[in-house]
Chains A and B, each alone.
Chain A
């Protein structure tokens, strides 16, 4: 076991203002940034506000920015930094700050409510659902999401343009639309709900310029851009910009995607 003293800069403040404060703090073998934040709480700043829960990268609570990059505090090992380096920890910069490292993430919960829920297939009773593994795998990948909202934080569409928040659901919830649209038993179509069109018209899919930062920050390694957003864009093209598909659908009167 070896320990050393690391230099930290932690943002402290609230909606009225704040600053990066310097701390010198002990670091031991095998620790992660969250351990250091906890040590600060226990020894130097008992009221330092931080969100955390599972400390194992499963709940997605301890999202923050470390050296300017959106990360989970609990999944960032201290060993990735050199001992001389000053480590800067700030709250997520795309959302309103509450206090210290805690931000107001209600934007995400508001967006979650705007995505119409799973529509159960009519006439299929509980216990009679049959789905093939190959058919559920795409949506399962998206359901790995732990809702840490790092993708929402890093996405420049809302990070750099507050005014786009009204029109843009963000990668997490566009991915949710994709998940439902790829769910083998979702009966939104039968209920008169076109998720592909809605992705484009209601959830602001067009704002995404596929620059892939969401995929880069995802702690679950979900290929958000390649597997959710681009396929969703292609599905929207089917509906909105592809006269051949449109014509085909008109003629056959049924969705081509059974």
Chain B
């Protein structure tokens, strides 16, 4: 039996980004002893990368804004596939979540009357994004981090120990959510199996509630704006714990990532560049977005450059320029332009602010973009256009959760919030809705996780067998030289870096921004091959801060998630939001009500399934609940006709 340290907590939060920290703050304030565990240093989470802002209908800049308008925009952006109750809660609660940050010390940019300033963003009808220059994510993470420190200071006063009720386990990774299987309580969460990255030491956090807030999956793709942490850990942990994933085919490709130099390919160029007046041009100098306004948005967007330009000054009497269409539309448009041979020298298109604003204004309003291009590409964005192209940015799909409680479906004690949770954004997320999502559902997850933990009569116990299995699984890469039973002898262990690169290439080429049935079948084949090889991924050295080992362990998660994406994308024979099928280009109203749930084929939770061909994931189709009538009433009938099936309209 593996001897290791066990600690008892009430709530364990996996991930220390916006959602995780907000959940931890809430749980701790509700009295739960809370542990946060994160792969990086505290305060480095991917949330810092968010630039544009936090969407919340405070109405500080345009008083016409309210939660109903925000809800409407969110549903439109998601092409009505959103879990509508989540979209409603999100729109209603976002302003409170933003204002609360100010009481914790956040310093947003201000309006002339001293309120929080709000900026325009793609898909939002009014200026809605609370922001700090273009480093809003940093402000968010720092504010939450400092709030946690302040709670720890209170605990220090009261108990003499900063970590009495709230502790951050930084640079640690969770490899398994542990469960108790008892006759009395059935299956429920019992804790998490973790290792410390610095020492390689294993430990177990026992807790009745586990909140997954691990973010996204971008590292399965080659061109991505995501950091190394985004290996789909939470998605995989949930799957392995028996919770289904929802609508994994919807992956957002941000239209504007850097395309050159190669080493920074994919790094994000914030949407605020367009919100503040930046325009997209092809190699012929044409503002091509005017050619790509889809019918559903015809009435909402400017039809001429003149009107679009007037909108920045006079938004009430003009329609917005099509550069501010939802991200999926812009990404597809750029993709088409490049394919048609009208791209920029390095395979993107031109994004230009230099001819639209004085250099001084650019440097003030887009300081980090100025910095980023200057430092990384040697491009002065005040003097020349940027080259940009689509980059894998966000996954709309995720763990299927109850809208109100953020509880994962089917696994008592498991909660999920933020990017790892599915449903909120439907088939496509609007810019700015991510940070507000983190706060709204982070808080809800923390709240309900704490309540659930308090309501547990008997703490679940972690069985030794599970710990041994988890430990063996985690140590496998060190003993990978030996051949597996039934395999040919003499194969050297696989290099995890090579496997990772092949996985990224596969997903990028075959399940990328434009998808085709045959290619996705091919992708599933390749994934099966990679899965078999990944079992032989081996690493050198020892357990102390060994990145090769860490990657070998993350491969399991990326392979699981990639398979979910590929299978669901193959199944959904329509194009909608972040899922574009060249062979099924139309949006089908019938598909609107269909949710695709991914589940593990072998739910006993054994080591990753062995069948190379059939795969590890089974799909289940589920019909969504009808949208509540008062929410439907917020839309015009003509608009609903475009999205909803006949029978839904007349119910």
Contact = CB atoms under 8 A, between A and B. Distances in A.
Do A and B touch (CB < 8 Å)?
A: yes
Interface of A: 14, 28-32, 35, 41-42, 46-61, 75, 77, 79, 98-100, 102, 105, 109, 112-113, 116-118, 120, 126-127, 129-133, 136, 139-140, 143-147, 180, 183, 186, 221
Given A41-B547, A55-B267, A146-B48, A117 B105 contact: yes
A58 B372 CA distance: 9
Nearest to A47: B541
A61 B228 CA distance: 12
Contacts of A31: 261-263
Given A54-B49, A113-B162, A144-B135, 11 more contacts: A14-B544, A46-B496, A47-B547, A47-B549, A54-B44, A61-B44, A118-B105, A120-B104, A136-B110, A145-B142, A147-B142
8 contacts: A28-B263, A50-B547, A55-B227, A99-B198, A100-B545, A113-B156, A129-B102, A140-B107
B539 interface: yes
A61 to B, nearest CB: 5
Nearest to A78: B263
A105 B44 CA distance: 13
Contacts of A60: 44
Nearest to B116: A129
B229 interface: yes
Given A28-B262, A55-B267, A132 B110 contact: yes
Nearest to A139: B107
B589 to A, nearest CB: 40
Given A58-B48, A118-B146, A127-B96, A30 B138 contact: no
Contacts of A51: 40-41
Contact of A47 (B48, B495, B548): B548
| Interface size class of chain B, counting residues whose CB lies under 8 Å from the partner chain | 35 or more
B99 interface: yes
Contacts of B162: 113
A103 B371 CA distance: 27
Nearest to B151: A117
Contact of B264 (A14, A55, A133): A55
A58 B137 CA distance: 10
Nearest to A145: B142
B103 A53 contact: no
Contact of A75 (B102, B376, B496): B376
Given A54-B227, A77-B375, A127-B95, A49 B103 contact: no
A53 to B, nearest CB: 5
Contacts of A46: 495-497, 539-541, 547-548
Given A28-B262, A117-B150, A183 B548 contact: no
Contact of B198 (A77, A98, A143): A98
B49 A29 contact: no
B138 A144 contact: yes
Contacts of A147: 43-44, 142
A59 B110 contact: no
A98 B40 CA distance: 15
Given A98-B545, A116-B153, A131-B114, A29 B261 contact: yes
B253 interface: no
B100 A58 contact: no
B642 interface: no
B139 A143 contact: yes
A126 B263 contact: no
A32 to B, nearest CB: 6
Contact of A54 (B41, B46, B114, B378): B46
B132 interface: yes
A30 to B, nearest CB: 2
B197 to A, nearest CB: 9
Nearest to A127: B99
Interface in B515-543: 539-542
Nearest to A130: B114
Interface in B536-568: 539-542, 544-549
Contacts of A32: 263-264, 376
A183 B546 CA distance: 42
Nearest to A115: B149
Contacts of A48: 547
B288 interface: no
Interface string B597-634: 00000000000000000000000000000000000000
A134 to B, nearest CB: 9
* Interface hub of B103, B152, B162, B229 (most chain A Cβ within 10 A): B103
Given A53-B228, A54-B227, A146 B372 contact: no
A99 B545 contact: yes
Contacts of A102: 198, 545
B153 A113 contact: yes
B6 interface: no
Nearest to B132: A140
A130 B497 contact: no
A162 to B, nearest CB: 21
A53 B547 CA distance: 13
A222 B156 CA distance: 32
- Nearest first, the 10 closest Cβ-Cβ pairs linking A and B are A30-B261, A47-B541, A118-B105, A117-B150, A130-B114, A46-B548, A49-B545, A127-B99, A126-B99, A42-B497
A126 B260 contact: no
A57 to B, nearest CB: 6
A59 B103 contact: no
B318 interface: no
A129 B371 contact: no
Nearest to A112: B149
